[in-house]
Amino acid sequence: MNKKIVLALGGNALIKEGQKGTIPEQYVNAYKALKHVSELIKRGYKIAITHGNGPQVGAIIIRDEADNTSYDLPLSVAVAQSQGEIGLIITQTLKNQLMTNGINRDVATILTHVVCDKNDPSMKNPTKPIGPFYKTSNTFREKGISFIEDSGRGYRRVVPSPMPLDIIEKETIKLLVDRGVIVVAVGGGGIPVYITKKGKIESIDGVVDKDLASYVLADCIKADQLIILTYVEKVALNFNKPNQKWLDHITVKEAKKYLKEGHFPPGSMEPKIKSAIHFLENGGKRVIITSIDKLPEAMKGKTGTHITSNTFILPRTKFHT
């Protein structure tokens, strides 16, 4: 095998719908989710794991806003905290599973900075949903907080989400993955930063979309496949409508067409499809979008939405700071 995969875990992998999201709950969910990842590791794949942080970073901000006795947390610091929290749960759980199965592979979490444009239009137009779902929008209206209705599942707070351009730690991550280390990186989309004219790193107050950052990581480490795990088994056209249609396999051309027609909601399926398009147009071989419990079947081609390029592959794009 020895093929490289970037595996993007959705926010629902650790906190299920209806759960409060306690640490014990997250450990239980991680154990169930990572069993499927362990199977890929057994087969010799080299893997970088990314993850969402919407529920966790939302909880951090809620706690911060409710506490008037401690210092305020910028979003960038909240993202860093969520990387540590989720990285601990994933690495500890996965390492224990590998040891139980007699597999000697190191697992490491890397605090990851993602380069963005500090003047990205999203800084003035928040689009990234974080935190829990609410049945009504009253809470947000009363506090003057930006919000959206998220794919028929309720209302969520939204924050700025600049586009990822590069990854500061990309060479370190690639080195480790190439040597067989299972790396947890770009957690929650990474800590958004920009590079000053003097070459210094400065934080941006926002949350990068995990799926878009996963594509950048996959490109940087020259991964063969990008697997995006979410709350549905397959991508659908006309989602949650009477004429809903599940997609088994589409090409980049078809993905662009459906994206233009507005089938994929912003902040939900849209960034996943955009990531797939970018990855395949820059040399990637295959993208799979499915749910965590269907990962084994999806790897065999039995389920999930599989996205591939057309009859040719464009050369890779290099990212620069």
Asked if residue 28 lies in contact with residue 21, where contact means CB atoms within 8 angstroms, the answer is no
Three-point CA angle 225, 233, 252, nearest 5°: 45
Strand 225-230, strand 235-237: pairing: unpaired
Known active-site residue 2: no
Determine which one of 234, 272, 274, 294 is catalytic. 272
Is residue 118 part of the annotated active site? The answer reads no
Cβ burial of 195 (10 Å; 0-12, 13-18, 19+) is middle
Active-site hit among 46, 210, 234, 294: 210
| Ordered DSSP codes for 126-141 | --EEEEEEESSSHHHH
12 is an active site residue: yes
**For 277, how many CA atoms within 13 A lie in the half-sphere containing its CB?**
15
- Catalytic pick from 12, 29, 53, 282? 12
Question: Cβ contacts of residue 197 below 8 Å, gap of 6+?
Answer: none
Asked about 188 being catalytic, the answer comes back as: no
| 187 is annotated as an active-site residue | no
Q: Which entry of 4, 46, 128, 274 is annotated as an active-site residue?
A: 128
| Catalytically annotated residue among 4, 10, 11, 190 | 11
Q: Catalytic positions, please?
A: 11-12, 128, 210, 272
